[in-house]
């Protein structure tokens, strides 16, 4: 049997549970599906002291190794993270000093290094992201950018790969990144089979957004503005001018625009464009429709408008987006 691919995941007290167990489960399922004839994965959890480690969920993990017991080469080194939620809705990433110090000497022994969620802050503190593009949980992206101006922080993608260094967004995106690593090691078929076994959405490619327009602006049931937003999402090709939308909720255009912006933090026009862009992205990812058909179905109208929207918002073309994410 071929030697298993060695994956070391660092943890520390207060770590996000799914940062550790999510990728570990992906690698475990992939190993079982690959079978005995292919190189699977062996996951080891390492902490500063070894033994029990209590996570943010209160669940205790049992480490396989102390950090100083991790010797030899590692195929993959993953750094988990933790976020402290503040009163008022803010958040602050936790940077564990023991893991940070160990990374400076251990990372060169890893063929591939990655961070999950706020683990990017630990990689950054160890100097491993200098000069690289990186992402992290959107709640702490501003903190990462402010503390490390030498890093090109992009809060939007689910994960970013820069050479042998990977960073990913919040919590569950660590599983998406692990699936991408499985695809790199074994091909898309095994990654797809793993995702299906775990009832995961395998199409969440790295450059896709952390944000969903409908999810980012959810509202309580019975809220007419919230119900209107849902209707917009379901009817992107309708007349979605401010006047038409105002008429649907029996308000004057001026009052509607002011109320919509107050309630959502964005103007009706900006929300409509974001919704139509998200629809177009989904159609490019999941269907074979031509660009004129995508433009019409998404409500953007013409291929020219489709191109302008993609260039302005995503800095790419619809055709290039489809090539990357189909």
Residue 164 is part of a domain; what is its CATH number?
Answer: 3.40.50.880
Give the pLDDT score at 233. Answer: 87
If asked whether residues 117 and 232 sit together in one domain, one would say: no
Among 177, 158, 100, 166, smallest CA distance to 133 is for 166
3 and 72 Cβ atoms separated by less than 8 Å: no
Q: What is the mean pLDDT of the chain?
A: 90
Sheet bearing 65-66, strands edge to edge? 65-66, 41-47, 5-10, 74-79, 110-115, 165-168, 159-162
Q: Worst-scoring range by mean pLDDT, 101-110, 215-224, 248-257, 269-278?
A: 215-224
Q: Is the pLDDT of residue 167 over 70?
A: yes
Give the pLDDT score at 41. Answer: 98
Give the tokens for residue 210. 């952390």
If asked whether residues 189 and 143 sit together in one domain, one would say: yes
Among 125, 63, 116, smallest CA distance to 97 is for 125
If asked whether residues 251 and 297 sit together in one domain, one would say: yes
Region for 208 from its dihedrals, namely left if φ exceeds 0, alpha if ψ lies in -120 to 50, beta otherwise: beta
If asked whether residues 34 and 166 sit together in one domain, one would say: yes
Give the tokens for residue 13. 């007290």
Of 197, 222, 244, which residue sits at a domain end? 197
Mean pLDDT of 82-101: 90
In this predicted model, what pLDDT tens digit does every residue of 249-298 receive, in sequence order?
999 999 999 999 888 778 999 999 989 998 998 899 888 999 999 999 99
If asked whether residues 257 and 172 sit together in one domain, one would say: no
Distance separating alpha carbons of residues 321 and 197, to the nearest angstrom: 27
User: Looking at the 3D structure of the chain, how many domains does it have?
Assistant: 2
If asked whether residues 181 and 320 sit together in one domain, one would say: no
Give the pLDDT score at 210. Answer: 59
Model pTM?
0.69
Task: With respect to residue 207, please indicate whether it lies within any of the assigned structural domains.
Answer: no
Share of the chain above pLDDT 70, in %: 92
Give the pLDDT score at 217. Answer: 46
Among 287, 277, 273, 270, smallest CA distance to 314 is for 277
Boundaries of domain holding 305: 213-325
Task: With respect to residue 242, please indicate whether it lies within any of the assigned structural domains.
Answer: yes
If asked whether residues 58 and 114 sit together in one domain, one would say: yes
């Amino acid at each position: 049997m071929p030697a298993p691919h060695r994956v070391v995941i660092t943890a520390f007290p207060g770590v996000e549970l799914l940062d550790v167990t999510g990728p570990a489960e992906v690698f475990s399922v992939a190993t079982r599906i690959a079978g005995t004839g292919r190189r699977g994965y062996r996951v080891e959890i390492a902490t500063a002291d070894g033994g029990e480690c209590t996570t943010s969920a209160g669940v205790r993990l049992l480490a396989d190794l102390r950090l100083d017991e991790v010797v030899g080469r590692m195929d993959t080194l993953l750094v988990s993270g933790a976020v402290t939620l503040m009163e008022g809705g803010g958040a602050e990433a936790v940077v564990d000093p023991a893991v940070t110090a160990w990374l400076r000497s251990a990372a060169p022994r890893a063929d591939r290094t990655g961070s999950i969620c706020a683990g990017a802050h630990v990689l950054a503190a160890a100097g491993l992201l200098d000069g690289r593009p990186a992402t992290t949980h959107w709640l702490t992206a501003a903190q990462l950018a402010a503390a490390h101006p030498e890093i090109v922080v992009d809060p939007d993608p689910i994960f970013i790969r820069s050479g042998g260094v990977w960073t990913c967004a919040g919590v569950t995106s660590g599983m998406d990144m692990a699936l991408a690593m499985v695809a790199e090691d074994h091909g898309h078929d095994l990654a797809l089979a793993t995702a299906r076994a775990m009832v995961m959405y395998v199409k969440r490619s790295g450059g896709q957004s952390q944000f969903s327009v409908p999810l980012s602006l959810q509202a309580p049931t019975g809220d007419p503005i919230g119900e209107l937003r849902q209707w917009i999402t379901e009817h992107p090709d309708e007349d979605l001018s401010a006047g038409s939308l105002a008429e649907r909720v029996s308000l004057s255009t001026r009052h509607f625009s002011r109320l919509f912006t107050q309630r959502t933090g964005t103007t009706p026009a900006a929300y409509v464009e974001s919704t139509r862009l998200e629809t177009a992205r989904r159609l490019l990812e999941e269907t074979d429709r031509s660009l004129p058909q995508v433009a019409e179905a998404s409500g953007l109208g013409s291929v020219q408008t489709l191109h302008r929207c993609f260039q302005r918002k995503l800095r790419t073309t619809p055709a290039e987006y489809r090539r990357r994410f189909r």
